A and B are shown apart, each in its own frame.
Chain A
């Protein structure tokens, strides 16, 4: 297996995640797109770990998974708070701080 097949797969997933963050207006789906990007990063870590025969790739993939869990917890708490205050989670309506 060549290294680039994994890197290309993760590049495609990352770009789909970028599109999702830019194009979705539902808060939960924006968080799901961020998860796509973090998964792409993890595939890169594991692929480079196997390529370099280094266990640090797996260790940092585990750290990324942990931080993704924390990020989703806090992110969904914020989304639920927005929903409670405004009865909608359309992110383009959250413009209170716009000048």
Chain B
């Protein structure tokens, strides 16, 4: 348990530093690459929580596909490759106040609700259990999500097409 907590601390610190860099760095491409660090750290946390299938999907879909979409987005909008001074607006301090306020409320509520209750890992939830759940009780949400993906595909092609 101690080793897991040490690993959690290292990964969490890396994720928080990288997340702060995502929202503060004056360089668009670097912000996207810091996002990769956050997403990979989240994948490592899924392994710590024994969710191996979600780990694989996180690496494949988020790091493999969504980050590439972001990099294409920066290229197609001719983002400045070097430093840019106009990435932030002038309500930065207001955003910081809102973020810190929300964080304070969340931490207080979470500590009040769950305190130091431990996670007891019982039987491992294997990939076959996830599959049985998706194609059993959650079949209708699964079908709705596939229709949503089709709609998003058609919609983004219709939006980005030149005519």
Contact with B along A10-52 (1 / 0, CB 8 A): 0111111111111111111101110110010011001101110
Contact present for B98 and A36 (CB under 8 Å): no
Q: Is B95 an interface position by the 8 A CB rule? A: yes
1/0 per residue B32-71: CB within 8 Å of A? 1001001100100110111101100110011001100110
B97 CB, nearest partner CB in chain A, Å:
9
Q: Which residues of chain A are near B138, meaning CB under 8 Å?
A: 56, 59
**Contacts of A28 on B, CB cut-off 8 Å?**
28, 32, 70, 73-74, 77, 79
What is the CB-to-nearest-CB distance from B160 to chain A, in angstroms, rounded to a whole number?
4
Q: Is the CB of B49 within 8 A of A73?
A: no
Q: Give the residues in chain A near B48, CB-CB below 8 Å.
A: 1
Closest CB in chain A relative to B143 CB, distance in Å: 12
Name the one of A7, A42, A69, A81 contacting B160, with C-beta atoms under 8 angstroms. Answer: A81
In the assembly, what is the distance between CA of A16 and CA of B16, in Å? Answer: 9
- B107-A19 in contact (CB<8A): no
Q: A18–B148 contact, CB under 8 A?
A: no
- State in angstroms the CA–CA spacing of A20 and B28 once bound together: 13
Binary contact readout B71-96 vs A (1 if CB under 8 angstroms, 0 otherwise): 01110111100000011110110111
From known contacts A61-B51, A65-B62, infer whether A72 and B69 are also in contact, taking CB-CB under 8 Å.
yes
Do B54 and A61 have beta carbons less than 8 Å apart?
yes
Residue A77 interfacial (CB < 8 Å): yes
| A5, closest chain B residue (CB) | B8
B31 to chain A, nearest CB (A): 6
A59 CB to closest chain B CB (Å) equals: 5
Q: Which residue of chain A has the shortest Cβ distance to B149 in the bound complex?
A: A70
18 A–B contacts from the bound complex (CB under 8 Å) = A1-B8, A4-B117, A13-B38, A18-B95, A22-B95, A28-B73, A28-B77, A43-B46, A46-B51, A50-B49, A55-B125, A58-B51, A59-B138, A69-B66, A74-B155, A76-B70, A79-B73, A83-B78
15 additional contacts (CB under 8 A) given A15-B103, A53-B123, A74-B155: A2-B116, A16-B20, A18-B95, A23-B88, A23-B89, A23-B91, A24-B89, A42-B58, A50-B121, A66-B149, A70-B149, A74-B156, A76-B72, A78-B159, A79-B73
7 interchain residue pairs of minimum CB distance:
A22-B95, A20-B23, A70-B152, A19-B99, A77-B156, A23-B95, A77-B159
